[in-house]
Amino acid sequence: MGDVKLVSTQISKATLTLNHSSLRTPTATEAPAFILPPRNIQVPFGGTAKFEGQVRGNPEPQITWYRNEHLVTGERCVADCSIRGIFSLMIKGVKEKDGGLYTCQARNAGGIRQVTVE
């Protein structure tokens, strides 16, 4: 547990010393889990595609998106993740080359989980 020292100097008097680290409650690590996984979508060319979902875990998972196993980057792609584990990937002005498999990866100290959509 922590450092606790109790010293009795007299029957009527005692000294209690607590280390601050012993007062903290340990935080359990929880692997990521998709509460609401993203779903497959179809969008016309020129439209906006938006994949959304929710993940939980402790510490809060970091979300990374891949398209056909390559990191999603570019000005038209906007990834977002809120403090409650709600995440999204928005692709503006969808083009034919944007088609493919999109993998959402959630990672924290407890592990890695992935969901793939198209």
Tens digit of each residue's pLDDT (9 = 90 or more) over 30-75: 999 999 999 999 999 999 999 999 999 999 999 999 999 999 998 9
Structural domain contains residue 77: yes
Beta strand segments in the chain, E: 4-10, 13-18, 30-36, 49-58, 62-67, 70-71, 77-81, 86-91, 102-108, 111-117
**3-class state of residue 96 by DSSP:** helix
Predicted structure pTM score: 0.75
Q: What is the structure's pLDDT at 97?
A: 94
Residue 92 domain boundaries: 30-117
CATH number of the CATH domain containing 62? 2.60.40.10
Structural domain contains residue 17: no
Structural domain contains residue 20: no
Structural domain contains residue 23: no
Structural domain contains residue 8: no
Instruction: Indicate the number of domains in the chain.
Output: 1
Q: What is the structure's pLDDT at 16?
A: 56
pLDDT surpassing 80 at residue 2: no
pLDDT digits (tens, 9 = 90+) for 67-107: 999 999 989 999 998 778 999 999 999 999 999 999 999 99
6 confidence band (pLDDT: 50, 70, 90): very low
